[in-house]
């Protein structure tokens, strides 16, 4: 089976990303339970920039793909009190 995430990503980016200790822990867990996993992790690129990333691991815990979220949405799709908060900070990008 072949898996790949959709969306824009830079080719070869996964070789330049330092993943958090949580990634290493999840990788070990996946290799024990032998199932594919799509999950979020924190990552750092070669320039020291931190990202909120999504990774896809295969049943052996190998990194298949990584996607760095470009515009993370606060509170997911729901923004509490949007009507009262108006156009402040990151809420402007949600319109």
**5 within some domain:** no
Residue 7 lies in a domain: no
Asked if 59 and 34 touch (Cβ cutoff 8 Å), the reply is yes
pLDDT at 16: 45
Q: Is residue 78 part of a domain?
A: yes
In a domain, 2, yes or no: no
pLDDT at 54: 86
CA distances from 31 to 15, 39, 64 (A): 20, 15, 14
In the chain, the number of structural domains is 1
Does residue 3 lie within any of the structural domains? Answer: no
Each of the 95 residues of the chain gets a pLDDT tens digit; together they read 555 555 555 555 454 455 556 667 777 888 788 888 888 877 787 888 888 888 888 888 888 888 888 766 665 666 666 666 665 555 454 44
Asked, for residue 6, whether it belongs to a domain, the answer is: no
Residue 94: per-residue pLDDT: 46
- State how far the Cα of 19 lies from the Cα of 56, in Å rounded to an integer: 13
Q: Please give the angle made by the CA atoms of 55, 60 and 66, to the nearest 5 degrees.
A: 15
Domain of 83, in residue numbers: 13-94
- CA–CA gap between residue 71 and residue 77 (Å, rounded): 12
Looking at residue 40, what is its pLDDT? 82
- Specify if 44 maps to a domain: yes
Q: Tell me the two tokens of residue 66.
A: 């990584």
Residue 91 pLDDT: 46
């Amino acid at each position: 089976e072949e898996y790949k995430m959709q969306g824009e990503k830079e080719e070869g980016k996964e070789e330049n990303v330092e993943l958090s200790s949580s990634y290493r822990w999840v990788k070990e867990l996946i290799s024990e339970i032998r199932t594919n996993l799509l999950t979020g992790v924190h990552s750092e690129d070669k320039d020291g920039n931190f990202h909120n990333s999504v990774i896809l691991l295969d049943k052996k815990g190998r990194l298949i793909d990584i996607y760095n979220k470009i515009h993370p949405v606060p509170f997911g799709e729901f923004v509490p009190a949007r009507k009262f908060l108006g156009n402040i900070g990151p809420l402007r990008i949600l319109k």
